[in-house]
Structures are given as structure tokens and as C-alpha cells.
């Protein structure tokens, strides 16, 4: 990416690595479970690999994500699994406990750590490419500062501690953006090949990035047409869109997408996933309708709501001071840096308008691909202000950098002091071994209840009469995903009058009666950890845990 190591970038990368590696074992060991919502446990990855690869052309596909990220994790697992096999600790794999492992708990723990180390690497790569984009578009100082803003954005620090596919998705899209910038500042063809590879991997990791990739294609065509001499505008556009370099990039992208998506070994599964994404029926598949829908205009109320949610998520990501500077930086780049505006604002606009607006609910992880872009616009404005000797520019920039680091460190502290650790200690000290403990939410939001007779009660059995009949010793509730205690996801939310979540009145009454003290249970312990600098928009971070114990 660059000829020699930049000392400034090295400092940023070391800082990013330290933030990502600190307390990397958050919530582990925990079997195949994790405290990170939507993470991929080791057994999940192995099962997806088995069903994708054996038998050939099975037609099976994973409804949640493409095969790209599990494939990367499988490759990372191979050396460790090979060592277990050579030492006799892994033989005759089975789908039931202990899965053919001599020490399944230790093996699953190590596999989970390997996956998290992979994500630390993806985050470091994202930071490095952010630097590379900034250096090519604005110069070294902007590259370093933008890399710092990205490295200290708390979502990147959080996802480095997980086995979610989001860091990989972010990495491939940032690589694609860097390759696009390189292609517009160089006559060489290799950036287009790299762009094709990154685009293929991004699509094989999470298809949501297609709109940003479409924006990058627009950037290449617009830059090529503007730089071309001779001929009409249509002729220049055609030459920019279809030439030996772009053709090679498209071929690399398609080959990479098909290889990482397992299209050659399981073409039916690859096509079935595309059918499912397009809303076409897939034989033998029955699932709730995904809450996504695109429209050119959804009405003023919904559009304003989308803008409000977008601002809320991005201000949470960076903090209000840096987010305001990033927005001002967008204006600065658009007005003063024509080429940078083309490279950054076009993919930002298309991703925000096409990809993000399709979601019925806008959550923070959907906006991760925009983190490098906002980090770059903020850094560009800060460096320009310093160069133009704007009063207090140096002090403001230093404060923004320090605030970013403080927020990132606080995220690490929240993981280290997760309230679920304190809840686990209290339960171990106050309940008898194998005591019946009841939960009404997913394990991902709960303390680890190893050593107890823990039961996740199905929604249909969450009734006052059912609780009084079961009479568990304790009930554990989490503040995370609270509505799922009494609601279920609507199968088809597009029906007029339907909501995304449908209430079950009996479960709502059970929760109300419990919290009102009308049942023979009392809240005996509460564990929480409130941040000072962060306004956390990630459900899995530091939920409040409440314990209700039977009194009669």
C-alpha cells in the first residue's frame, strides 16, 4: 500500500491492536454461545461448512449470511483442528456433544478466540486502508488522523471482540474504496483487479454492500469520462465503463464472488440464496419476510424518521463533537476537493439512500461501511483548519482525538466490567447448585448459567399460571432485547396494520405482574454499568441484569 512504514500509522495500528486485544475473551468460555448478538459460534461455522460443502450441489444455503465469512473462519480453524487431530484430541466428528472432541469446552473456547483474532486483523486492515485513502486524497496528515478516528470509533473496537461477519464486510468494502481511489490516481490496472477481488469478497460476506460498490463503479466511470480526451460524452462514458481494465476487474469480481460463495460446488444453494434475497419463493423454505423494502420516496414521516435514526446512530458511533465536524467536513470536501468529493460522497450517498433506507429498523452495524468515510471528512477538515491557522484548530483536533481514545477505552472497560460477570458471581454465591433458573430471553443477553438447571422458557409458556406451576428458584432478566420477552417477530410485517413485533398479551401480563410484585418473586439483585462518554447503541454491550428470587 505504501513504500515504507509510516511511524504515525504504526502508532495508530498499535493503538488499534491494543484496543481490540484487550479482554478479547469477553464472555468466554461459553460453548457455542456468545454475548455478541448475531455472532458465529465455532459449531455454527463448522455446520455451515459441512452443509455447504457436503454433499456437492446440495441446494442448501444459510438464510442469514453468504458463505464468505464462514469460509474465512474455516481456513483460520484448519491449523488448530489439524493439531487436535494429530494429537488425538479430535476424531470421528459428530453433530452431538462432545462433537468428537476430547475436551470440547477448551476446543470451542480456542476456536472462538481464533475467530476474534481474525476480526482484530480485519479491523486493523480497515484502519490501514482508511489511512491509505486519506493519504492518496488529502496527504499523510489526513491519512493518519482519519485512521485514528476510525480506530477509536467504539463500534470497531466492539466488533474486534466478536465473531460477527461485520468486521470482514467493513474490511472488504474499505479495501474496495481504497482500490477505487488508487485506480483514479494511477494508470496501472492492478487497482482494478484488487477492486474486483474486494468487491467479490464483500458480496460473498454480506450483500448489503452492493449499493456502495455501485457507487464505486459510478466513481470510476465519472472519473474516466472526465479524464478522457476526444469524442462525445456518451463515447467517453462507454470507454470509461468498458475497457480492458474494467473488464478484468468485473471478471475477477465474479470469479471471487462465486468461489467465496461456493457457487461452483453448490450452484443450487448459491442460486437459492439469490432467489431468497430477491423475494422469489424457494422450494422447501418457509421463513418470515425480511424487514427490508426499497422505495424512491416513503413519505415525509418515514423519510424524516430515517434521517433521525441515521443521525442518532452516527452520533453514537463518533460522539456528537466528532460527528458534527464530520458533517462539516462533508461540506468542505464537496466545496473544495472535487476529486475527493467524487470518491467519497458518491458511494456514501448511494449506500445511505439505497442500502440503509431499505431497512425497517436502522441499527448501528448497518452503518459501519460509512465509518471510514466520515472519519476521512472529519480529518480533512481538521487538517485544513490547522494548515490555515484557524484559531484553536490544533486544540480542537487534539481534543477530538483524545475524546475518541477515551470512548474506545471506555468500551473496553464496559466489556471487562460487563454486569453479567457480577450477576454470575452473585448467582453462584446465593443459589444452590443445579437450582432451577428461568430466563425469557436469548442466551446471548444472559449471564452464563453453567451449573444451574437453566431453562429458556418458550414464548407460548410465559404465563402467570405457567410460572406458578413451574416454580423456578430464580428468574433472570436482561435489559437487552426486552420486548422479546412478550413479543415475537411478525412473519409478514407488510400486511396493513401489522407491526414488526407482535405482542403476546399473556406474556406481557406475566412481566407486568412480576415487576409489580404481584407474584411470589421479588427482585433481589440488580447489576448495571453506566458509561460516562458513550451513548451505546449496541444491544449486547453491558446490559442491566435483574434477578428475581422465589419468596414462598
66: nearest Cα among 196, 187, 169: 169
Q: Which three cell numbers stand for residue 529?
A: 454499568
Residue 450 located in a structural domain = yes
449: nearest Cα among 468, 467, 433: 433
Q: Which three cell numbers stand for residue 186?
A: 494511477
Look at the chain and report how many structural domains it folds into.
2
- Strand 453-456 and strand 436-439: pairing? parallel
Supply the range of the domain harboring residue 452. 419-550
Q: Please tell me whether residues 533 and 474 are part of one structural domain.
A: yes
**Which of 378, 413, 448 finishes a domain?**
413
173: nearest Cα among 158, 194, 154: 194
- Count of all residues that appear for the chain in the document: 552
Q: Please tell me whether residues 423 and 398 are part of one structural domain.
A: no
Residue 2 located in a structural domain = no
The pLDDT profile of the chain, 552 residues, written as one tens digit per residue, is 446 789 999 999 999 999 999 999 999 999 999 999 999 999 999 999 999 998 898 899 888 899 999 999 999 999 999 999 999 999 888 888 888 899 999 999 999 999 999 999 999 999 999 999 999 999 999 999 999 999 999 999 999 999 999 999 999 999 999 999 999 988 888 999 999 999 999 999 999 999 999 999 999 999 988 877 777 788 888 888 888 899 999 999 999 999 999 999 999 999 999 888 877 777 766 665 566 677 788 888 889 999 999 999 999 999 999 999 999 999 999 999 999 999 999 999 999 999 998 887 889 999 999 999 999 999 999 999 999 999 999 999 999 999 999 999 999 999 999 999 999 999 999 999 999 999 999 999 999 999 999 999 999 999 999 999 999 999 999 999 999 999 988 776 566 666 778 899 999 999 999 999 999 999 999 999 999 999 999 999 999 999 999 997
401: nearest Cα among 372, 378, 384: 378
Q: What residues contact 501, with CB distance under 8 A and at least 6 apart? A: 483, 484, 487, 488, 489, 490
Q: Please tell me whether residues 63 and 199 are part of one structural domain.
A: yes
Cα 433 to its chain centre, rounded Å, is: 37
**Which of 370, 388, 413 finishes a domain?**
413
Give the rounded percent of residues in the chain with a pLDDT score beyond 90.
80
475: nearest Cα among 512, 413, 542, 522: 522
Q: Please tell me whether residues 371 and 482 are part of one structural domain.
A: no
**What is the pTM assigned to this prediction?**
0.95
Q: Please tell me whether residues 368 and 483 are part of one structural domain.
A: no
> Taking a C-beta distance cutoff of 8 angstroms, is the pair 356, 366 a contact?
yes
> Backbone phi, then psi, for 542, in 5-degree steps?
45, 55
Amino acid at each position: 500500500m505504501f513504500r515504507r512504514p509510516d511511524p504515525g500509522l504504526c502508532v495508530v495500528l498499535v493503538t488499534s491492536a491494543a484496543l481490540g486485544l484487550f479482554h478479547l475473551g469477553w464472555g468466554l468460555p461459553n460453548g457455542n454461545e456468545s454475548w455478541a448478538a448475531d455472532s458465529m459460534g465455532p459449531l455454527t461455522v463448522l455446520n455451515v461448512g459441512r452443509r455447504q460443502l457436503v454433499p456437492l450441489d446440495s441446494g442448501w444455503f444459510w438464510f442469514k449470511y453468504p458463505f464468505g465469512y464462514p469460509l474465512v473462519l474455516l481456513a483460520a480453524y484448519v491449523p488448530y483442528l489439524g493439531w487436535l487431530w494429530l494429537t488425538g484430541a479430535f476424531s470421528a466428528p459428530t453433530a452431538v456433544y462432545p462433537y468428537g472432541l476430547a475436551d470440547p469446552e477448551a476446543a470451542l473456547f480456542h476456536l472462538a478466540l481464533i475467530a476474534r483474532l481474525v476480526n482484530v486483523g480485519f479491523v486493523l486492515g480497515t484502519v490501514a486502508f482508511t489511512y491509505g485513502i486519506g493519504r492518496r486524497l488529502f496527504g499523510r496528515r489526513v491519512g493518519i488522523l482519519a485512521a485514528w478516528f476510525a480506530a477509536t470509533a467504539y463500534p470497531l473496537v466492539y466488533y474486534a471482540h466478536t465473531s460477527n461477519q461485520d468486521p470482514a464486510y467493513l474490511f472488504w468494502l474499505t479495501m474496495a474504496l481504497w482500490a477505487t481511489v488508487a485506480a483514479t490516481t494511477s494508470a496501472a490496472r492492478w487497482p482494478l483487479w484488487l477492486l474486483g477481488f474486494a468487491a467479490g469478497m464483500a458480496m460473498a460476506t454480506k450483500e448489503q454492500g452492493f449499493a456502495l460498490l455501485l457507487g464505486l463503479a459510478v466513481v470510476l466511470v465519472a472519473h474516466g469520462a472526465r479524464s478522457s480526451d476526444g469524442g462525445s460524452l456518451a463515447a467517453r462514458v462507454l470507454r470509461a465503463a468498458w475497457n480492458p481494465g474494467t473488464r478484468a476487474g468485473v471478471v475477477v469480481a465474479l470469479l471471487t464472488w462465486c468461489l467465496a460463495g461456493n457457487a461452483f460446488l453448490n450452484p443450487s444453494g448459491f442460486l437459492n440464496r439469490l432467489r431468497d434475497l430477491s423475494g422469489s419463493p424457494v422450494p422447501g423454505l418457509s421463513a418470515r419476510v425480511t424487514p427490508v423494502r426499497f422505495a424512491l420516496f416513503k413519505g415525509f414521516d418515514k423519510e424524516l424518521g430515517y434521517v433521525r435514526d441515521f443521525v442518532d446512530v452516527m452520533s453514537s458511533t463518533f460522539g456528537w463533537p466528532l460527528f458534527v465536524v464530520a458533517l462539516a467536513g462533508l461540506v468542505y470536501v464537496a466545496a473544495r476537493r472535487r476529486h475527493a468529493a467524487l470518491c467519497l460522497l458518491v458511494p456514501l450517498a448511494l449506500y445511505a439512500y439505497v442500502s440503509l433506507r431499505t431497512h425497517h429498523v436502522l441499527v448501528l452495524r448497518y452503518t459501519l461501511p460509512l465509518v471510514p468515510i466520515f472519519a476521512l471528512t472529519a480529518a480533512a477538515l481538521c487538517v485544513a483548519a490547522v494548515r490555515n491557522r484557524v484559531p484553536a484548530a490544533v486544540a480542537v483536533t487534539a481534543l477530538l482525538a483524545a475524546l475518541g481514545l477515551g470512548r474506545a477505552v471506555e468500551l473496553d472497560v464496559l466489556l471487562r466490567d460487563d454486569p453479567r460477570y457480577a450477576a454470575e458471581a452473585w448467582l453462584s454465591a446465593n443459589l444452590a447448585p443445579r437450582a432451577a433458573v428461568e430466563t425469557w430471553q436469548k442466551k446471548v443477553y444472559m449471564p452464563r448459567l453453567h451449573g444451574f438447571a437453566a431453562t429458556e422458557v418458550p414464548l407460548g409458556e410465559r404465563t402467570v399460571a405457567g410460572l406458578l406451576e413451574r416454580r423456578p428458584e430464580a428468574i433472570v432478566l436482561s435489559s437487552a432485547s426486552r420486548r422479546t420477552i412478550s413479543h415475537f417477530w411478525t412473519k409478514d410485517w407488510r400486511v396493513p396494520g401489522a407491526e414488526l413485533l407482535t405482542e403476546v398479551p399473556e406474556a406481557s401480563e406475566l412481566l407486568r405482574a412480576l415487576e409489580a410484585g404481584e407474584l411470589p418473586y421479588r427482585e433481589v439483585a440488580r447489576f448495571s454499568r453506566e458509561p460516562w462518554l458513550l451513548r451505546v447503541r449496541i444491544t449486547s454491550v453491558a446490559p442491566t441484569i435483574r434477578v428475581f428470587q422465589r419468596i414462598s
